[in-house]
Amino acid sequence: MMLGTLPRLRLAHLFMGMMFWYGIEQLFLNHYLHNPSARAYLTIVYAASVLVLDIPGGVLADKIGRRRTVLLACVIEVLAVIVLGMSRDMWQYLIGSVLFGLFISMINGAAEALLYDHLKAEGLTKRYAKEQGLVNAYFLIGAAIANLASGFMAEAWGLRAAYFVSTLPGIAAFILIWGVAEPPFEQSGGRWHQYVRQAGRYITQRPRLLLYGLQFVLTEVAILTIGEFGQIYLLHFGLTPIQLGLLWSAVAVAAAVGRFVAHHGQSRPQLVMLGYCGAIVAFIFTHSAWGILLYLLVYGYTEAASNVAETEVQDASESNVRATLFSCVSFGGNLVAIPAVYLFNRVYLTHSIFLANEIIGVIVCVLLLLTITANRRTIRSAIVHVTLPKHLDRQY
């Protein structure tokens, strides 16, 4: 039986997320690298690689096609996990992290554009929020399955085995994407900087697009600090490898649930952001083991808020620069995340993981609240200008 496009995309994301090393990575770093700052170095290098490669990845998808770009990304993912698994020092692991950043950069705009343009060709763009939530949920379910097995795999076969076994799902994802047709999309045919310049104009000339882009950036900062240092936070409570794998699996499930239900909040995006701020505040000021449950809530809410903001960005984008535009937004997220990760790590090393969470959490919440306030003013302004004929020529 032949699978349709949407089932193929969902299953491909399931396999792309099924990386068995996610759940035991901090244990691998502790065992082989013996560097308390390893997590920060890796996160900064990863964010920097995505920062440098994200926009070229989006431009590539707009020039050669979304499907081809995702296929190439699958190959790079397999290569990345091989390099990571073979690493015996920090430099080797950093190379693997750069390759994994390249993989993320290539699917970042291409996978979303591939889905959106397929739905657009069928006149189903209103389903994007739900379908995007589903494919991301499948990615996270794949991660949950892998995390669940990672602790047992590490104890039975060793920490490196979790990396090498992860090549199999990557190959499966490649096979599934191979059977997906390239959707029709407009091509500008210009040079890469023309794509970037056009995408930049869209972002700066459309206030709501800019504000939702900023909200997406803030969710990226949260996931690369509070989220990325999560295993350090969990290990603070004295977990075994199996317990860490099980809890990290629960984190992936929470994230999948967040993506799965995100479309229900699409009609009231600012309410989603307010709830997100509330979840962060509750987590950062809870220093007991109850904080683990709140961490799951924050992680899931981060994915939901990210999905809501991303959908608004996609809806306001034009077909010929859709992948480039989203890559520009993601570029902003990683640009801001690099100093945020550095700050987080310094506070964590000199004080505690709890204080680091508090500082970043407060910054993210304050800035989110500012974007919510600005967005409400933009909406009121747009309503006024639509109501009064003399302002109908204004662009919003």
192 within domain boundaries: no
Q: Are 262 and 129 in contact (CB under 8 A)?
A: yes
pLDDT in tens, 156-183: 888 898 999 999 999 999 999 998 887 7
* pLDDT tens sequence for the chain (396 residues): 466 788 888 999 999 989 998 888 888 888 887 777 788 888 888 878 877 777 777 777 777 778 888 999 999 999 999 999 998 888 889 999 899 988 988 887 788 888 888 888 887 777 877 787 788 788 888 888 888 888 888 888 888 989 999 999 999 999 999 988 877 665 555 555 555 666 666 666 566 667 777 888 898 899 889 998 998 899 888 888 788 888 888 988 898 888 888 877 777 878 888 999 999 999 999 988 899 999 999 999 998 888 888 777 666 655 555 666 666 777 777 778 889 988 999 999 899 999 999 999 999 999 989 888 876 655 454 433 434 333 333 332
* Residues whose CB is less than 8 angstroms from the CB of residue 352 and which lie 6 or more positions away in sequence, other chains included: none
pLDDT at residue 206, as a whole number:
62
The reply to whether 237 falls in a domain is yes
The torsion angles phi and psi of 322, rounded to 5 degrees, stand at -60, -50
Asked if residue 172 lies in contact with residue 15, where contact means CB atoms within 8 angstroms, the answer is: yes
Residue 370 lies in a domain: yes
Question: Which strand (E) or helix (H) includes residue 216?
Answer: helix 207-222
9 neighbors 134 (Cβ within 8 angstroms): no
* Cβ-based neighbours of 209, under 8 Å, separated by 6 or more: 202, 203, 312, 313, 316, 317
The predicted pLDDT at position 390 comes to 39
Domain-embedded: residue 211 = yes
DSSP 30-85: HHHT--TTHHHHHHHHHHHHHHHHHHHHHHHHHHH-HHHHHHHHHHHHHHHHHHHH
Q: Tens digits of per-residue pLDDT, 285-295? A: 998 889 999 99
pLDDT attached to residue 252: 84
Q: How many domains does the chain have?
A: 1
Report whether 215 contacts 273 (CB < 8 A).
Answer: yes
Structural domain boundaries, residue 111: 10-181+199-388
Here the CATH number for the domain that contains residue 297 is: 1.20.1250.20
pLDDT of residue 205: 57
Query: DSSP of 164-209, one letter per residue?
Result: HHTHHHHHHHHHHHHTSPPPP-------HHHHHHHHHHHHHH-HHH
Residue at 193 is within a domain: no
Model confidence over 300-351: pLDDT tens digits? 999 888 888 877 766 665 555 566 666 677 777 777 888 998 899 999 989 9
Nearest-angstrom CA–CA distance, 72 and 103: 8
Burial of residue 61 (CB within 10 Å: 0-12, 13-18, 19+) is buried
Which pLDDT score is estimated for 122?
81
The Cα 14–Cα 33 span in angstroms is 30
CA angle 55–57–63, rounded 5-degree value: 105
4 found inside a domain: no
Residues 6+ apart with CB under 8 A from 284: 354, 357, 358, 361, 362
Short-list 17, 85, 63, 50, CA closest to 188: 63
What are the DSSP calls for 86-97, one per residue? H--SHHHHHHHH
- 350 in any annotated domain: yes
